[in-house]
Structure 1
Amino acid sequence: MRLSVCLLLVVLALCCYQANAMVCPALLSEILGFLFIDEPVFKLQLAKFNAPPEAVAAKLEVKKCIDQMSLKKRGPIEVALLKIVEKCNK
Protein backbone atom coordinates (compact mmCIF):
# COMPACT_ATOMS: atom_id res chain seq x y z
CA MET A 1 0.00 0.00 0.00
CA ARG A 2 2.73 2.48 0.93
CA LEU A 3 4.68 1.78 -2.24
CA SER A 4 1.61 2.43 -4.38
CA VAL A 5 1.02 5.80 -2.73
CA CYS A 6 4.65 6.81 -3.27
CA LEU A 7 4.50 5.65 -6.88
CA LEU A 8 1.30 7.62 -7.44
CA LEU A 9 2.91 10.78 -6.07
CA VAL A 10 5.96 10.34 -8.31
CA VAL A 11 3.77 9.77 -11.38
CA LEU A 12 1.68 12.83 -10.60
CA ALA A 13 4.80 14.94 -10.13
CA LEU A 14 6.25 13.80 -13.45
CA CYS A 15 3.08 13.97 -15.51
CA CYS A 16 1.33 16.98 -14.03
CA TYR A 17 4.18 19.35 -13.31
CA GLN A 18 2.65 22.08 -15.45
CA ALA A 19 -0.76 22.02 -13.83
CA ASN A 20 -2.19 25.50 -13.37
CA ALA A 21 -4.69 26.54 -10.76
CA MET A 22 -5.96 29.76 -9.29
CA VAL A 23 -5.68 30.13 -5.53
CA CYS A 24 -9.09 30.49 -3.94
CA PRO A 25 -9.47 34.00 -2.42
CA ALA A 26 -11.05 32.51 0.71
CA LEU A 27 -8.02 30.27 1.20
CA LEU A 28 -5.63 33.18 0.72
CA SER A 29 -7.61 35.20 3.26
CA GLU A 30 -7.45 32.29 5.70
CA ILE A 31 -3.70 31.86 5.26
CA LEU A 32 -2.95 35.53 5.83
CA GLY A 33 -5.45 35.64 8.69
CA PHE A 34 -3.57 32.75 10.27
CA LEU A 35 -0.53 35.01 10.43
CA PHE A 36 -2.04 38.34 11.47
CA ILE A 37 -5.62 38.11 12.85
CA ASP A 38 -6.41 37.64 16.54
CA GLU A 39 -7.63 34.19 17.57
CA PRO A 40 -11.35 35.01 18.16
CA VAL A 41 -11.68 36.68 14.75
CA PHE A 42 -9.71 33.88 13.08
CA LYS A 43 -12.07 31.30 14.63
CA LEU A 44 -15.01 33.11 13.00
CA GLN A 45 -13.14 33.16 9.70
CA LEU A 46 -12.62 29.37 9.91
CA ALA A 47 -16.35 28.82 10.50
CA LYS A 48 -17.14 29.44 6.82
CA PHE A 49 -15.25 26.25 5.88
CA ASN A 50 -17.46 24.01 8.06
CA ALA A 51 -14.39 22.09 9.24
CA PRO A 52 -14.69 19.40 11.92
CA PRO A 53 -14.20 20.76 15.46
CA GLU A 54 -11.03 18.67 15.89
CA ALA A 55 -9.46 20.31 12.83
CA VAL A 56 -10.40 23.79 14.04
CA ALA A 57 -8.97 23.04 17.48
CA ALA A 58 -5.71 21.80 15.95
CA LYS A 59 -5.43 24.88 13.73
CA LEU A 60 -6.02 27.17 16.71
CA GLU A 61 -3.39 25.30 18.71
CA VAL A 62 -0.80 25.99 16.01
CA LYS A 63 -2.02 29.60 15.77
CA LYS A 64 -1.08 30.08 19.43
CA CYS A 65 2.55 29.40 18.46
CA ILE A 66 2.35 31.77 15.48
CA ASP A 67 0.89 34.49 17.70
CA GLN A 68 4.02 34.31 19.88
CA MET A 69 6.20 35.27 16.89
CA SER A 70 6.98 38.94 16.40
CA LEU A 71 5.42 40.75 13.44
CA LYS A 72 8.94 41.25 12.12
CA LYS A 73 9.35 37.47 11.80
CA ARG A 74 5.90 36.96 10.28
CA GLY A 75 6.55 39.49 7.49
CA PRO A 76 8.94 37.31 5.46
CA ILE A 77 6.49 34.40 5.69
CA GLU A 78 3.77 36.62 4.25
CA VAL A 79 6.05 37.76 1.42
CA ALA A 80 6.95 34.17 0.55
CA LEU A 81 3.30 33.06 0.56
CA LEU A 82 2.25 35.97 -1.64
CA LYS A 83 5.03 35.14 -4.13
CA ILE A 84 3.82 31.54 -4.29
CA VAL A 85 0.23 32.67 -4.83
CA GLU A 86 1.32 35.13 -7.53
CA LYS A 87 3.25 32.40 -9.31
CA CYS A 88 0.27 30.00 -9.13
CA ASN A 89 -2.14 32.60 -10.48
CA LYS A 90 -0.10 33.27 -13.63
Structure 2
Amino acid sequence: MRLLVCLLLLTLALCCYRANAVVCQAVGSEIAGFLLAGKPVFKFQLAKFKAPLEAVAAKMEVKKCVDLMAYEKRVLITKTLVISVSFMWPGQRHSVK
Protein backbone atom coordinates (compact mmCIF):
# COMPACT_ATOMS: atom_id res chain seq x y z
CA MET A 1 0.00 0.00 0.00
CA ARG A 2 2.80 2.43 0.86
CA LEU A 3 4.54 1.69 -2.42
CA LEU A 4 1.32 2.44 -4.27
CA VAL A 5 0.98 5.82 -2.53
CA CYS A 6 4.62 6.67 -3.32
CA LEU A 7 4.13 5.76 -6.98
CA LEU A 8 0.96 7.83 -7.15
CA LEU A 9 2.70 10.88 -5.67
CA LEU A 10 5.65 10.45 -8.01
CA THR A 11 3.33 10.16 -11.02
CA LEU A 12 1.40 13.27 -9.99
CA ALA A 13 4.64 15.20 -9.45
CA LEU A 14 5.98 14.28 -12.88
CA CYS A 15 2.75 14.63 -14.87
CA CYS A 16 1.05 17.54 -13.12
CA TYR A 17 3.94 19.80 -12.17
CA ARG A 18 2.32 22.76 -13.93
CA ALA A 19 -0.87 22.55 -11.90
CA ASN A 20 -1.89 25.57 -9.85
CA ALA A 21 -1.47 24.68 -6.18
CA VAL A 22 -2.86 27.87 -4.70
CA VAL A 23 -5.51 26.95 -2.16
CA CYS A 24 -8.56 29.16 -1.73
CA GLN A 25 -8.86 30.86 1.65
CA ALA A 26 -11.89 28.86 2.83
CA VAL A 27 -10.23 25.51 2.16
CA GLY A 28 -6.95 26.63 3.71
CA SER A 29 -8.61 27.83 6.89
CA GLU A 30 -10.70 24.63 7.10
CA ILE A 31 -7.58 22.45 6.78
CA ALA A 32 -5.67 24.52 9.33
CA GLY A 33 -8.66 24.46 11.68
CA PHE A 34 -9.00 20.71 11.30
CA LEU A 35 -5.37 20.19 12.23
CA LEU A 36 -4.79 22.93 14.80
CA ALA A 37 -8.05 24.30 16.28
CA GLY A 38 -9.86 22.92 19.29
CA LYS A 39 -13.10 20.95 18.90
CA PRO A 40 -15.51 23.82 19.71
CA VAL A 41 -13.75 26.23 17.36
CA PHE A 42 -13.61 23.69 14.55
CA LYS A 43 -17.27 22.74 14.99
CA PHE A 44 -18.18 26.44 14.71
CA GLN A 45 -16.00 26.69 11.60
CA LEU A 46 -17.81 23.71 10.04
CA ALA A 47 -21.20 25.37 10.62
CA LYS A 48 -20.60 27.81 7.75
CA PHE A 49 -20.67 24.89 5.27
CA LYS A 50 -24.16 23.78 6.45
CA ALA A 51 -23.16 20.12 6.20
CA PRO A 52 -25.50 17.32 7.32
CA LEU A 53 -25.19 16.31 10.97
CA GLU A 54 -23.87 12.86 9.99
CA ALA A 55 -21.02 14.45 8.02
CA VAL A 56 -20.13 16.79 10.89
CA ALA A 57 -20.17 13.87 13.34
CA ALA A 58 -17.90 11.84 11.05
CA LYS A 59 -15.48 14.76 10.66
CA MET A 60 -15.39 15.28 14.44
CA GLU A 61 -14.68 11.56 14.92
CA VAL A 62 -11.67 11.81 12.60
CA LYS A 63 -10.59 14.99 14.41
CA LYS A 64 -10.38 12.98 17.65
CA CYS A 65 -7.69 10.83 16.02
CA VAL A 66 -5.86 13.83 14.59
CA ASP A 67 -5.84 15.50 18.00
CA LEU A 68 -3.86 12.54 19.36
CA MET A 69 -0.91 13.52 17.15
CA ALA A 70 1.76 15.76 18.61
CA TYR A 71 1.02 19.46 18.01
CA GLU A 72 4.42 20.00 16.37
CA LYS A 73 3.67 17.32 13.78
CA ARG A 74 0.27 18.85 13.03
CA VAL A 75 1.97 22.23 12.47
CA LEU A 76 4.41 20.58 10.03
CA ILE A 77 1.52 19.01 8.12
CA THR A 78 -0.25 22.37 7.96
CA LYS A 79 2.87 24.08 6.62
CA THR A 80 3.26 21.35 4.01
CA LEU A 81 -0.33 21.62 2.82
CA VAL A 82 -0.22 25.39 2.42
CA ILE A 83 2.64 25.71 -0.06
CA SER A 84 4.26 29.09 -0.52
CA VAL A 85 3.44 30.64 -3.86
CA SER A 86 6.99 31.93 -4.17
CA PHE A 87 8.11 28.32 -4.48
CA MET A 88 5.97 27.84 -7.58
CA TRP A 89 6.90 31.12 -9.30
CA PRO A 90 10.39 32.16 -8.20
CA GLY A 91 11.23 35.78 -8.80
CA GLN A 92 7.62 36.97 -8.65
CA ARG A 93 5.87 38.31 -5.58
CA HIS A 94 2.41 36.97 -4.77
CA SER A 95 0.46 37.20 -1.57
CA VAL A 96 -1.53 34.29 -0.23
CA LYS A 97 -4.21 35.30 2.24
TM range (shorter): 0.5 to 0.7
Contact 2:36–2:75, Cα closer than 8 Å, also in 1:
no
Instruction: Give the equivalent residue in structure 1 for 2:27.
Output: 27
Letter of the 2:61 counterpart: E
Alpha-carbon deviation of 1:22? 4.7
Number of aligned residue pairs: give it. 74
State the TM-score, normalizing by the size of structure 2.
0.63
Distance 2:72 2:43 in 1: 23
Instruction: Give the equivalent residue in structure 2 for 1:7.
Output: none
Alpha-carbon deviation of 1:54? 1.0
Instruction: Give the equivalent residue in structure 2 for 1:82.
Output: 82
State the TM-score, normalizing by the size of structure 1.
0.67
Higher-RCO chain (CA-CA 8 Å, sequence separation at least 6): 1
Distance 1:26 1:59 in 2: 17
Identity %: 55
Letter of the 1:26 counterpart: A
Root-mean-square deviation (CA, aligned residues, Å) is 2.5
Instruction: Give the equivalent residue in structure 1 for 2:72.
Output: 72
Matches within 5 A, 1:6-85: 17=16, 18=18, 20=20, 22-83=22-83
1:28-48 alpha-carbon deviations (Å, 9 max, x no partner): 111000011100110000000
Letter of the 1:30 counterpart: E
Structure 2: state its 5+ residue gaps: 1-11, 90-97
